[in-house]
Amino acid sequence: MNISGKSFWLVGASSGIGRSLALQLAAQGGNVAVSARNGQALTELQRQAQSLPGSIHASPLDATDREACHHTLAEIQKELGPVNISVLNAGVYQPMTVSDFNAQTCEHIFTVNVMSTINCLEALLQKVEGLEQILITGSVAGYRGLPLAGAYGASKAALINLAEGFRSGFLKRGIQLRVINPGFVETPMTAKNTFKMPALISSDDAAKAIIAGLSKSGFEITFPKRFTWWLKLLRILPYYCYFPLLKRLNT
């Protein structure tokens, strides 16, 4: 895909994968509106892109605010014109065991990870002119229940299911609704993990994989495949095989 001249809206772009993706898109000539709650980080990101062929435009947003999503997108389109591709990447992560199970934390995870995405989808559906793709950041943690990721994984499973259910309806409007399911990526979120993360990759490599996937038409962009395909295999295991295996991996 030729990135040059296309307009992007990245939500959840102040750090990690979103930040790396914004810089790489701008480096290839894309015009990128970046949104997140951390306005200072977005301003710094915009400054870093000043010498790049494309541009980055800071558009601070708390995506859990439904009306703010509509307003922010309208302002972006006034500045950049129709958005061609949007990546909905807002997310939080908190490892959780049964011992520290907390309903308030679960609610926060679902509000940020799921409702932020739904709010942005609603806004985008009101502004479909020129819109080609919407990519929702899920996770391989959404494939099956995993230790420490009960709440986080459940929120990502919800996003995968959401995209599966609405994909055909979006296609009828000429829009590809897709998911990005990363494995372990080195970001401030995964820095919370105290265990060794297999096949860990950098956020820059993750961004490269996403950009490479933009030119394809498949539903899912997943990486690194040497890890994520093993997780896919777990999806087909019956419970009487899956839980004993999980117990062994967790010891």
The domain spanning residue 173 has which CATH number?
A: 3.40.50.720
In a domain, 154, yes or no: yes
| Percent with pLDDT over 70 in the chain | 99
Give the integer Cα–Cα distance in Å for 122 and 120. Answer: 5
pLDDT tens-digit series, residues 199-244: 889 999 999 999 999 999 899 999 999 899 988 998 999 999 999 9
Sequence-separated (6 or more) residues with CB below 8 Å from residue 99: none
Confidence of residue 167 (pLDDT cuts 50, 70, 90): very high
In a domain, 216, yes or no: yes
pLDDT at residue 197 greater than cutoff 90: no
Q: Total domain count for the chain?
A: 1
Give the integer Cα–Cα distance in Å for 33 and 46. Answer: 9
Owning domain of residue 167: 7-250
Does the predicted TM-score (pTM) go above 0.85?
yes
Q: For the chain, state the CA radius of gyration.
A: 18
pLDDT tens-digit series, residues 99-119: 999 999 999 999 999 999 999
